[in-house]
Amino acid sequence: MAEFKLPKNSTINPGKNYSSSTSGKKRKKFHVYRYNPESGENPQLDTFDLDMDSCGPMILDALLKIKSELDPSLSLRRSCREGICGSCAMNINGRNVLACTTAIDDYAGDIHVYPLPHQPVIKDLVSDLDQFYKQHASVEPWIKSETIPAEDKERTQSVSDREKLDGLYECVMCACCSTSCPSYWWNSDKYLGPAALLAAYRWISDSRDEATQERLDELDDTFKLYRCHTIMNCTNACPKNLNPAKAIANIKKQISTNKLGG
User: H or E segment at 189?
Assistant: none
Angle between helices 212-219 and 193-204 (to 10 degrees): 160
Tell me how many domains the chain contains. Answer: 2
**What percent of the chain is predicted at pLDDT more than 90?**
86
Regarding whether 118 and 25 lie in a shared domain, the answer is yes
Predicted pLDDT at 246: 98
Does residue 1 surpass a pLDDT of 80?
no
Give the residue-averaged pLDDT of 182-186. 96
Regarding whether 189 and 114 lie in a shared domain, the answer is no
Regarding whether 136 and 103 lie in a shared domain, the answer is no
Predicted pLDDT at 34: 98
Regarding whether 107 and 67 lie in a shared domain, the answer is yes
Q: What mean pLDDT value characterizes the chain?
A: 94
In a domain, 149, yes or no: no
Regarding whether 137 and 79 lie in a shared domain, the answer is no
Sign of CA dihedral 149, 151, 154, 159: negative
CB-based burial label for 211 (10 Å; 0-12, 13-18, 19+): middle
Predicted pLDDT at 148: 87
Predicted pLDDT at 2: 74
DSSP reduced 3-state for 138: helix
Quickly state the pLDDT bin for 190 (edges 50, 70, 90).
Answer: very high
Regarding whether 135 and 249 lie in a shared domain, the answer is yes
Question: Which residues have C-beta within 8 Å of that of residue 163, sequence separation ≥ 6?
Answer: none
Does residue 108 surpass a pLDDT of 80?
yes
Regarding whether 135 and 103 lie in a shared domain, the answer is no
Predicted pLDDT at 149: 85
Regarding whether 13 and 123 lie in a shared domain, the answer is yes
Quickly state the pLDDT bin for 21 (edges 50, 70, 90).
Answer: confident
Regarding whether 100 and 182 lie in a shared domain, the answer is no
Does residue 25 surpass a pLDDT of 70?
yes
Angstrom distances, CA of residue 65 to CA of 51, 60, 107, 116, 211: 10, 8, 18, 21, 49
Domain with residue 49: its CATH number is 3.10.20.30
Predicted pLDDT at 203: 98
Quickly state the pLDDT bin for 109 (edges 50, 70, 90).
Answer: very high
Domain of residue 44: give its range: 8-127
Regarding whether 139 and 104 lie in a shared domain, the answer is no
Domain with residue 204: its CATH number is 1.10.1060.10
Question: Which residues have C-beta within 8 Å of that of residue 139, sequence separation ≥ 6?
Answer: 192, 196, 197, 199, 200, 203, 215, 218, 219
Question: Per-residue pLDDT tens for 198-246?
Answer: 999 999 999 999 999 999 999 999 999 999 999 999 999 999 999 999 9
Give the residue-averaged pLDDT of 50-65. 96
Question: Per-residue pLDDT tens for 67-98?
Answer: 999 999 999 999 999 999 999 999 999 999 99
Predicted pLDDT at 262: 60
Q: Contact, 101 vs 89, CB < 8 A?
A: no
Regarding whether 100 and 15 lie in a shared domain, the answer is yes
